[in-house]
Every structure is written in structure tokens, then in C-alpha cells.
Structure 1
Amino acid sequence: MMLGQRFLWLLPTAFLAIGPVGGACAEGLLGAKTATAPSAAGVAPSASNLATAPAPDSPTAQVRSFYVDGADLALADRGRFTDPARMVLEKNEILKKSGQGDCLDQNMALDEVPYDKAMLEKTFKSLESINGDEARVVVAFVEGSEPHRLEWKLKKVGGGWKITDLLSVTGEWALSQYQCE
């Protein structure tokens, strides 16, 4: 069994360790935290893959196009974001318009690796966790036999979910930490 196949077999077990938003963190993804039951305000985490259609108003629906369509984070509709992510994306646009280049990778949603739709469809898994007005969508996939895990943070704003940050667990970077100046 190849490393990537072994990883996919273990993936559902790793997702169980995440727990609700209050317990979801990098350590939980790696299995260091124990699973916890959702709080009274939280909703039990729900897992999916690219073939599973998310509820239209769910946090997962906000991040899905980055994987189904290979959408570019820097070109995505700013209405889908709120600070601090929106501020970084807007500073990136100002930098590009000034002719000084781009401070963000074109495929941050894919952990800065090449987009291979067939491989992504085969290996993609996601887990959504909601706690009140905050949510997290953790995605995992394999590219070139290397596992990748990213965490999208969202906040309910005006009745809809907005992306506040994107963190790469495997790449050890966060969108909110980029200085596009």
C-alpha cells in the first residue's frame, strides 16, 4: 500500500480528533487531541468529499469552489471574505496594480501545489465544524503522494458565512500573516 493510500485510510480517524470549533486546531488534526462532543451551541462535525454537494448556505459551500473549479484565492469575489483575510487580499490587489507584483501564491487553497483535478477528486476530504457564529472547514488531499491539510476559518456576517482566514497545517503558513505592502 502506498503512503498516500495509507493516509487516506487514516484520514477519517484524524478528522474525528478535530472536535467542534473550540477544539479544532493543528494538534487535533494530527491526532494529539482527543475527540470531544459538541457543546450545546455547537453542531457535530460533518465530513464530505468533492462528490458530496454541501448545503448552499453552509461554510463548506463558501470554500468548495476553490477545489471543484480550481478557483484562484486572489481573484475570488471579495464579498466572500471578511477581515483579516479580506484586508490581505485587498493589499495584494493594490500591490499588483502598482506593478510591483503579487505577494500571494495563485493556488493557496491547494497549499501552493499544482492543481491536478483528477487527483484532487480522488483524494479530497473535508470536515465542517460550526460553533455559533464561527466555523471551520478542514480540507485534506494528496498531491504527488504528499498529504496536504488546510483549515478555513469562517464567521457568520449578515446571515451568511464569510472567510476570515486560511491556514496550511502542512505548509505552516496563514493567509492573515502575509504582509502585502
Structure 2
Amino acid sequence: MLKCLVLVSVFALPTAPAFAGDPSLAVQYFYDNLGAETGLENRDRFVGPALEFLNAADAAWDRDETLCLDFGFPVDAQDFDDAEIARTLKFEETVDGDTANVVAHFDNFGEPAEIEWTLEQSAAGWQVSDVASTANDWRLSTLSCE
């Protein structure tokens, strides 16, 4: 009986999502897995406007193969040097209660880049609510996908 109780209690323990922890760790995932940001398996890492845009982009593609995003938003580019990005990546993080901003600074093909990530904390951990590039003046929350 005791063995059964121990086994049941192990399965009953809540499991922490992969994106729990500091906001920078939630953002780091996307740089460790460049190209995975639009994958359905990562959709639970997004919330709010970012999630709405990604879902709209999927719907547009399914409808008539409209491509709403033709670049990797973590790197603000279509092409990237993942080794250089990994080597130069630095984060600047500010947290205010249940919201956070993480600015990713890195070099891509010798050019400095900066991507701003806005996150919200929920029961699921830190989730991305918006992503922006001031250099190229875009923000996921303002992009349209028709």
C-alpha cells in the first residue's frame, strides 16, 4: 500500500513548464532554438497580442498560403549566424510585478541587433506577450495578418 501511495504522489506532483523561472530564461529558449518560435509545440510560450498574431498567421497560411511573417522575429532577419548570435547574446531585463521586458542584444553577420521582448507572468510562468524591433520599426502586436 505504501509503495502505491508513493507512486501516486510522484505522478501527482505538479510539473513546472519549461518556461518557468526568470523572464530572460523564457527568452533564452528562443535563441537556443532559433526557428522554433512559430512552431505549434511552442504556442503555449505566448499570450495576448503575440499569441493572437501567431494564430492569425497560421490561419492565413491554412486559408490560402498567405505568409504573414517572412523573417525570424527573434533575430529580425531572414538569415542568421546562429553561432555568432549565441556567442554575442546578452540580455537586459527589467521586471515590474507580473510584467517584464527583456532586451536581447547580439551580433548577426557582424551587425549589432536588438530585440525587445515583453512578457507576462501567469500560472504557466513567463510568457511572451509581444516582440519588437526598434531598428526596423515593427512590433508583433501591430502587425496585421489578413
Question: How far is 1:102 from its partner?
Answer: 1.4
Corresponding position: 1:167 with 2:137: no
Corresponding position: 1:61 with 2:25: yes
Of structures 1 and 2, the larger Rg is shown by 2
Any idea what the Cα deviations from partners look like across 1:122-171, whole Å, max 9, x if unmatched?
A: 22111121111110110011112221111000011225111110011222
Query: Distance between the aligned counterparts of 1:101 and 1:72, measured in 2?
Result: 19
Corresponding position: 1:107 with 2:72: yes
What is the 5 A alignment of 1:96-175? 96-158=61-123, 160-175=125-140
Question: How far is 1:75 from its partner?
Answer: 1.5
What is the 5 A alignment of 1:37-48? none
SS for the counterpart of 1:138 is: strand
What is the 5 A alignment of 1:85-104? 85-104=50-69
Query: Distance between the aligned counterparts of 1:65 and 1:103, measured in 2?
Result: 23
CA RMSD after TM alignment: 1.8
Query: 8 Å contact 1:70–1:115 — kept in the other structure?
Result: no
Query: 8 Å contact 1:74–1:106 — kept in the other structure?
Result: no
Instruction: State the identity as a percent.
Output: 31
TM-score by length of 2: 0.79
Query: Distance between the aligned counterparts of 1:157 and 1:122, measured in 2?
Result: 31
SS for the counterpart of 1:110 is: coil
Any idea what the Cα deviations from partners look like across 1:103-126, whole Å, max 9, x if unmatched?
A: 013411111242212211222111
Query: 8 Å contact 1:148–1:169 — kept in the other structure?
Result: no
Q: After the TM superposition, which segments of 4 or more aligned residues of structure 1 sit over 4 Å from their partners?
A: none
Any gaps of 5 or more consecutive residues in structure 1?
A: 1-54
Any gaps of 5 or more consecutive residues in structure 2?
A: 1-18
